[in-house]
Structure formats: structure tokens, C-alpha cells
Amino acid sequence: MRMLFLFALGLAIGAFAAVTVADGLRRRDAYPRGVMNVMAHHLGRLQAALRAGQCPAAATAHALARLDAVSAEIDDAFPDPMRHDTQFRSYAGRLHEALAPAANAADCTTLAPRVARVADACDACHRDYR
């Protein structure tokens, strides 16, 4: 009986420790995931506006400004090994380069290729780092 009690106690302590470690690992990745989710949201809004053929300058400028602001957080969001990885920094630079001309798109015809360039920059990085 004593062995069964100790086994059950060890199992309970092990389960508690596993849940605690898993929660800590999940929280560690919350900021990078949050940055990527916010960027995906704003890019999705731009793509939806393009699909609908409604690209009012004020709405697209707001989404582009948010994308640009959040993309500046990429360097801070990821751990040191990735921050110093030249390929990762190159992908982040391509994203910034793609966002710069997109900011002054006035209508859907000028916005479409610029949003496609931003999406391509995101996809290129995600192919290697996701």
C-alpha cells in the first residue's frame, strides 16, 4: 500500500511539474507569436480590401502603418540566436523594404502589387523559419 501511495504521489508531482514547464515554454513564445499574429491580421485586412475592390486610402494607410510599426518589433520579439542570424535579418530587411513604398498607395491598383510584395516577404521568411 505504501508503494502505491508513493507511486501516485510521484505521478501527481510529475504531472504538476510537466504542466508548469509546458506553461513556461508557451509563455516564452507568446511575444513572437503575438507580433506575427498582429502582422497577419493587418496583412489579411489589406488582402480582404483588395479582394473586395475597396481600398479607401485612410483604411489602407492605417493597416500599412500598423504593419510597419509592428514589423519594427521583429528584432526585439525573437531570441538572440535569430536576431544575429544574417538570413533572418535579410528577410526582415526585405519586409521593411516592401512596406516602405506600400505606404503611399492611393488605390487598389497601386496597392495590389505592393501588398503582394509584403506577403511574398512574409512567405519567404516563413518557409525557412516557421
Domain ranges of the chain: 31-129
Q: Tens place of pLDDT for every residue, the chain, 130 residues?
A: 888 877 777 887 887 777 776 666 655 678 889 999 999 999 999 999 999 999 888 888 888 889 999 999 888 888 777 777 889 889 999 999 998 876 677 788 988 998 999 999 999 999 988 7
pTM score: 0.75
Topology (CATH level 3) of domain 31-129: Four Helix Bundle (Hemerythrin (Met), subunit A) (1.20.120)
Q: Where would I find the H helices in the chain? A: 2-28, 30-52, 57-71, 74-77, 80-83, 86-102, 108-129
Please tell me the distance from the alpha carbon of residue 52 to that of residue 70, in angstroms, as a whole number.
25
Question: Is-contact 78 115, C-beta < 8 A?
Answer: no
